[in-house]
Every structure is written in structure tokens, then in C-alpha cells.
Amino acid sequence: MQIFPLRRYRALSAPFFLFPILFFGLIFSAIIIFLFPFCYIDHRSPAIIDALFSSSSAVSHTGLWTTNLAVVLSPFGKIFLLFLIQTGGILTLFFGLLFVLAIRVDGVKTIWMRSTREIYHDIDEKGRRKFRYLFKFIIIAEATGTILLFSLWPKEIQFSGIAHKIFFSFFHAVSAFNNCGFTLLPDGFSTVGLRNGYIFQLGTAGLMLTGSFGVFAFMELFSFSELRKRLASPKLKPGHATRITVVTGLIVLITGAGLFYFLERRHTLIDVPSVGAGIASLFTVISARGAGYQNIPFHSMVPASFVLLLSMIVIGSSPISTGGGFRTTTVWLLLKSAVLRLFPEEIGESSVAEFRVTKRISKIMFFSISTLLICILLLMITHPNAHLSNISFAECCAFFNNGFAGGIPSELNLFGKLIIIFSMALGRVISLILGIAYLSIYPLPVN
């Protein structure tokens, strides 16, 4: 008699169940390491809730903290933090790619009825090449980013040696590419030298933008095989999903950076050269859509700029990327659905499929917003003396996986920290689902 039937093992190995098992398993197993004294400079173990918070923030790519990890972590602790950031990014991108390919081939039921190994073997050779390209993409992007940042550090940032500088460059390249928001500098990008180090900011912004661009779009536009095909057939166009991903991303980026520049040119950027102000605006908006590096203090901004950045946090990045938020393509689908309801004569065959997915997306977003409001309410109940703006901002940053709120969670009690941890994990899962829902609409491009 089998106590644990084979079917149960098979069900747990399905992508729908395997991703949360690995995701949350990584978070909870990391607590054990973070509790060891040798992870910290003063050799003092933190509270269990703080260890859980740090591991959740790193794996979910949020960048919030209850203790400033750049100050308290030992070299081993920093290496382990880097490992969590990298592993969390690989998990998110790998399963996002697997979900989309599986749904396009056999439908939604595939991801929870069949094992991950069976699904992978049923994917054609073209689909398997995408997984190989994914790992090459990650390695090349982070290696290039490391070399780039190594050469761009401002002279005000001092290092003890060449190995120290290489590790700092590699850590920040991985953190920026994965849009995590963690930095090894105690004051982050507000550090003297980095706040006005516009060339370094531009390099970091490029890494953040690469990670938040979207794996499918990047593969279709920049992989060597696709570039060769496009050179052989100049009239060959990218797929519909890729075109929408690129267009919506550019619209959000250019509009956001332009508005921020206009709002802050006579305030926080008044003494900054025009080129530097433009780079700072671009860096801030890209960071708002993912990592959450803060180079301009929020208390110095005009209220309109704060609202603009909050909207960037909510919109987020492109589907199947390391960034967070509701995704740019999700916003585009909702807007298109609203327009087609006003002009139903424009509805075509592709719009019918989009309508079906938009209904599901609307339900997910309704659940997300309701959960967000409930969490804010619970935080206000458990912290009656806290400011509503601080509580709401910290919760929004946690839910949309952005590190702008920094150390605000350190002021929360045990219950408040648990709510933020729950929001970080749930937000990462929801952002992945929304990206999958959009990309599953369109067939694979036939070149």
C-alpha cells in the first residue's frame, strides 16, 4: 500500500505547484542561514522575524529592510544575500517562460495537471532554445554590467582593493539587473559621489531597464538568430506581443521621465546641469518601475512628483521580467478593452481573445487592490500612531516589489512586518501571473 501515491508526487511537480514550493522553500530555508552569527559583523543573530523579512525581500526582489543590511552583514552574509537575489531572479524568469510556452502549446490546464519534466520534453526545439538563451542572457547581462560598473565608480567611492571593487561591481550589477533595490552602500544612491554620479546612474539604469524589458521581447529583438533572420528579410516584423511590449514600455518611460524633469527642474534639480537633470529623471523613473534606488529624497520633491512615481510603481515593468507592478501591457489591455466597449464595431478576432484574458486580469487586479487596501487597514489598526502616508507607501512598495520605502518597515511591530512579508511574496506571484496572462493571448511568431 502506497502511503504517498505517485499521482500526488506528479501533481506537486506540476509548474503551478512547483514554483510556489521552490519560491517559498527558498525564503524559509534562507532564514536558517540568516540566523547564524557569522552572517553579521557583530556576530549577533537577529530576531527570526527580521531574518524572514530579509530573505523574503531578497527572493521577491523588493529591497525593503528592517535592518540596514549594507551595514550589519559580514562578507559571507553579503555573498548569501547576492545568492538569494540571483536565485529568485532565475526562478521567476524560468517559470515565467515555462508557463507561457506550456499554455501556448497545450492550454492552461497543462501547468497544473502535468509535471514540469513532461511539459519541458513536449516543448519543441525552438522553445527549448529559449531556455538556453535565457541563461545566456542572464550571464551576459550581469557580466557586462559588472565590467561597466567597475569602470564607472565615482572617485569619491573608496575601495580597500581590487577584489573589493570587483565584488561591489558584481553585486550592484546583479541587484540592478534583477531590479531588487539592495545596495552595499549604507546611504545607497544618496551617498556622496553617487547622487551626482550621473554616468554611474546611467549605467545602472541600463541594467535595470534590461532586466525589466521582458525576456520574450528581448529574445525576439536581440537574439542572434532573430537578428540574422531580420537581416535576411528586412520586411520581417517582430510579433504582436513584442511590439506592444516595446511601445507601452517606451511610452511609460518617456512620459514619466519627461514629466519628472518638468516637475523637478525648478526644485530638487535646480542646481543640476541639464544633461545631469535628464539622467537623474530617467534613473528615478526606471528605478520606480522596478528596483527602487533612491537618488533624490522624497521629502524634497513636490507632491505631484511623488504621485507620478507612485503611479510608475503601480504600472511596473514589462511581462516576464525581473521588475514588479501590474505590468505595462496589463494597463494597455485594460485601456484597449475600455475603448472597444465604446466602439464595439472595431472588435476583431484578436480582440475577442484579448477580451477573455482582460476579464481574468480584471478579477486579478480587483483581488490585488482589495488585498492592498485590507493590508493598509490592518497596518493602521495595529499602528494607530503611524502616519497614513508612510504606512500606505511602505505597503504599496512591498506589494509592487519596489525598494523606495527603504527602512520604513523597521518602525513596524511584529504584526506589521508579517503583513509586509505577505505583501512582498503575493505581489511577486501576482505580477508573474499578469505577465503570463498577457503573453498567452498571442501565438508564437512564425518567421
Are 315 and 331 contacting, i.e. CB atoms less than 8 angstroms apart? yes
Which one-letter DSSP state was computed for residue 445? P
C-alpha span between 318 and 424 (Å, rounded)? 18
1 belongs to a structural domain = no
Q: Cβ(198)–Cβ(276) under 8 Å?
A: yes
Does residue 32 fall inside a structural domain? yes
Q: Give the domain range for residue 222.
A: 7-439
Residue 364 domain flag: yes
Give dist(CA 408, CA 389) in Å, integer: 11
Q: How far apart are CA 44 and CA 58, in angstroms?
A: 20
CA–CA dist 336, 425 (Å, integer):
29
Q: How far apart are CA 226 and CA 176, in angstroms?
A: 26
- Look up residue 245 and give its amino acid: T
For 318, the grid coordinates are 514589462
pTM: 0.90
Asked if 229 and 447 touch (Cβ cutoff 8 Å), the reply is: yes
Q: How far apart are the first and last CA of the chain?
A: 52
Asked if the model's pLDDT at residue 106 lies above 70, the reply is no
Dump pLDDT digits (tens) for 345-381. 555 555 556 667 777 788 888 899 999 999 999 999 9
Give residue 238's Cα distance to chain centre. 24
> How many Å apart are CA 65 and CA 405, to the nearest integer?
9
In a domain, 447, yes or no: no
**Which residues, 6+ apart, have CB-to-CB distance to 362 below 8 Å?**
334
- Say if 168 falls within a structural domain: yes
Residue 129 lies in a domain: yes
* Of 53 and 2, the one with more pLDDT: 53
Number of structural domains in the chain: 1
Backbone angles phi, psi at 73, to 5 degrees: -75, 140
Give 318-353 pLDDT, tens digit per residue.
888 898 898 888 888 888 777 777 766 555 555 556
- Does a structural domain hold residue 444? no
Q: What phi, psi does 194 have (nearest 5°)?
A: -80, -35
Dump pLDDT digits (tens) for 8-67. 555 567 777 888 889 999 999 999 999 999 999 988 889 999 999 999 999 999 999 998
